[in-house]
Structure 1
Amino acid sequence: MNKDNILPSDTNMKITLFSELSVGISANSVLFFAHLCMFFEENRSKPIDLCIAFLSLTQLMLLVTMGLIAADMFMFQGIWDSTTCRSLIYFHRLLRGFNLCAACLLHILWTFTLSSRSSCLTTFKHKSPHHISGAFLFFCVLYMSFSSHLFVLVIATSNLTSDHFMYVTQSCSLLPMSYSRTSTFSLLMVTREAFLISLMALSSGYMVILLWRHKKQVQHLHSISLSSKSSPQQRATRTILLLMTLFVVFYILGTVIFHSRTKFKDGSIFYCVQIIVSHSYATISPFVFVFSEKHIIKFFRSMCGRIVNT
């Protein structure tokens, strides 16, 4: 493993990566602050605001951790020890899992919240925050146990060169695993993530069915001109579908690029593109929330008004 040639000499990749991280960190900070403030307001204390705040906080921490890892890739030139390597790589992998869990549970909570009174999900509406908190803790423990092998496999290799190591940063590398262990961990990861993505897809599909039924009922009661106006349920469903589409597209692209990287023996271009693509959802999703939820814009306008008045 020749670390001098592992990264592309073109600085465009480095600029693109750090630009994405900077934009994502700023956007998630704004979204986290807005929903946290709205949650603690007396007239608007909805569990959905706390869930979105937690998702944005998870994405914020994920991008900050990736920024530290990228700094060692492009700037520090291998100054970390094994403890630092293991801690940061494990924490980053853990945050990626938390991000998937938070996105999945947000879709489910959104489905419970927007379901009609005649829906079979009505009985779970008031109990959903407690059930979702328990489910999230369960998946967190699951991710922590499944990623524990990184404490053994990640080592500091700043002064070592070997074709058997997989490059992570200038300081850190992954030790090779046997075929059976690699297959086992890959199967567990695919099963876990396929299950969570399936839950997201089922909740999104259920919301599409509810929206279609609601639209048919409205067309019977109102004229076409009145029913063409988007309701809050329609806007929320479009947001859910857009977030779901973005997540699936970036996940599939990241998986394809990862396997391409493995096939071409740690190609530097594939590695950088994989990092950029795998963090694109965390960068773009805050803008979807901000521009689709009008109360966020109203909240910032009211805050600006208070600041001006003071």
Structure 2
Amino acid sequence: MNENSRLHASSNLRNTLLSEIGIGISANSILLLFHILKFFGGHRPKPTDLPIGLLALIHLLMLLVMAVSATDIFISWQGWDDITCKFLVYLYRVFRGLSLCTTSLLSAFQAIILSPRSSCLAKFKQKSPYHMSRALLLLSIFYMFISSHLLVSIIATPNLTLNNFMFVTRSCSILPMSYLMRSTFSTLLALREAFLISLMALSNGYMLTLLCRHKKLSGHLHSTSLSPKASPEIQASRTILLLLSFFVLMSILDSIISCSRTMFLDDSTFYYIQLFIVHIYATVSPFVFMSTEKHVGNLLRFMFKGIINV
């Protein structure tokens, strides 16, 4: 690929990424606003409203930090100092970790809600929001600890010709770490990933089993001329299963791009593709959640009506 073609491809990837961030910020803002209005409007909340609203808030903050970082990735200017680099990169990594934690706990929470009364999980239904809050707090503290090395390894790099530095933005890079430090933090991250993905896998398998059982029961009810309409819990479980499958797919693509980026010596094109991949879930998930809420349409019509009147 010649230099002109490379610059054109990078420009297209940049515009695509910035559009994705803008759409994601707008969608998560609407979803979060909907849950806030629903709470203060006196509507009876569903069990999943809290984790979904929290996930929208996390994704909104993550994309806002990414939008700020994008100004230093794509735009040449004075640059940031060490403190700004450390703060923004660390904050962004924490929000990414919280997105994974909240998604995993949401899958477990939905599995508890879907469980029948005869199940051993039924006793956790009333206390599950409380336990989820505690689990998310503990996981957040753990992830903030294992990401603390970024406060040391992230530095401002005004000289872009430095070797062995991993590019983050035009102003920020990651210092090469010692083998012991790299192994320690990689092991902690691998343990976190293994635990949360195993939790998702178990929850998904359990929900899939219950949904298959419900499908057979629905077929029997339909054959006896009774309504086979799925309950809200069943519909929510299908939505979450769809999102989790999509999340796992994006995680696999992220890993492939990360390996490719390492093999091709930190090529900027692979970096832009990786940034696009890791934000697809945060951009798509609010649309999936809003598609299951009939009141969101009323909120959007009210907002657009207000804008037109102004």
TM-score (normalizing by structure 1): 0.90
Cα distance between partner residues in 2 of 1:66 and 1:128: 32
| Deviation at residue 224 of structure 1 after TM alignment | 6.6
Query: Counterpart of 2:164?
Result: 164
In structure 2, the CA distance between the partners of 1:16 and 1:304, relative to structure 1 (3 Å rule), is closer
Query: Counterpart of 1:55?
Result: 55
Query: Counterpart of 1:113?
Result: 113
Residues 211 and 233 of structure 1 are in contact (CA less than 8 Å); yes or no, is this contact kept in structure 2? no
Higher mean alpha-carbon deviation, 160-169 vs 299-308, is at 299-308
Residues 38 and 49 of structure 1 are in contact (CA less than 8 Å); yes or no, is this contact kept in structure 2? no
Query: Counterpart of 1:233?
Result: 233
Cα distance between partner residues in 2 of 1:135 and 1:181: 27
In structure 2, the CA distance between the partners of 1:108 and 1:36, relative to structure 1 (3 Å rule), is farther
Query: Counterpart of 2:104?
Result: 104
| Deviation at residue 235 of structure 1 after TM alignment | 1.9
**1:283 and 2:283 matched:** yes
* 1:243 match: secondary structure: helix
Query: Counterpart of 1:9?
Result: 7
| Deviation at residue 111 of structure 1 after TM alignment | 1.9
Cα distance between partner residues in 2 of 1:271 and 1:66: 14
Unaligned runs of 5+ in 2: none
Residues 113 and 233 of structure 2 are in contact (CA less than 8 Å); yes or no, is this contact kept in structure 1? no
Residues 215 and 227 of structure 1 are in contact (CA less than 8 Å); yes or no, is this contact kept in structure 2? no
Query: Counterpart of 2:212?
Result: 212
Residues 221 and 228 of structure 2 are in contact (CA less than 8 Å); yes or no, is this contact kept in structure 1? no
Q: CA RMSD in A?
A: 2.4
AA partner of residue 168 (structure 1):
V
Query: Counterpart of 1:184?
Result: 184
CA distances 1:264-298 after superposition (whole Å, capped 9, x unpaired): 11011111101110111001111111113334335
Cα distance between partner residues in 2 of 1:170 and 1:124: 49
| Deviation at residue 302 of structure 1 after TM alignment | 7.5
CA distances 1:14-70 after superposition (whole Å, capped 9, x unpaired): 101100000000000001111122233333133421211110000001011111111
Query: Counterpart of 1:268?
Result: 268
Residues 25 and 60 of structure 1 are in contact (CA less than 8 Å); yes or no, is this contact kept in structure 2? yes
CA distances 1:99-130 after superposition (whole Å, capped 9, x unpaired): 11111111222222232222221100001111
Deviating runs (4+, > 6 A) in structure 1?
Answer: 302-308
| Deviation at residue 73 of structure 1 after TM alignment | 0.8
CA distances 1:143-162 after superposition (whole Å, capped 9, x unpaired): 10000000110110113521
Query: Counterpart of 1:43?
Result: 43
* 2:161 match: secondary structure: coil
**1:296 and 2:299 matched:** no
CA distances 1:131-181 after superposition (whole Å, capped 9, x unpaired): 111101100000100000001101101135211211111101111112332
Unaligned runs of 5+ in 1: none
CA distances 1:203-225 after superposition (whole Å, capped 9, x unpaired): 12211111222233344344276
* 2:155 match: secondary structure: strand
In structure 2, the CA distance between the partners of 1:300 and 1:77, relative to structure 1 (3 Å rule), is closer
Percent identity, aligned pairs only, is: 51
AA partner of residue 244 (structure 2):
M
CA distances 1:210-266 after superposition (whole Å, capped 9, x unpaired): 122223334434427655544423322220111011100000100110111011110
Higher mean alpha-carbon deviation, 223-232 vs 85-94, is at 223-232
CA distances 1:71-108 after superposition (whole Å, capped 9, x unpaired): 10111435100000000000000000011111111122
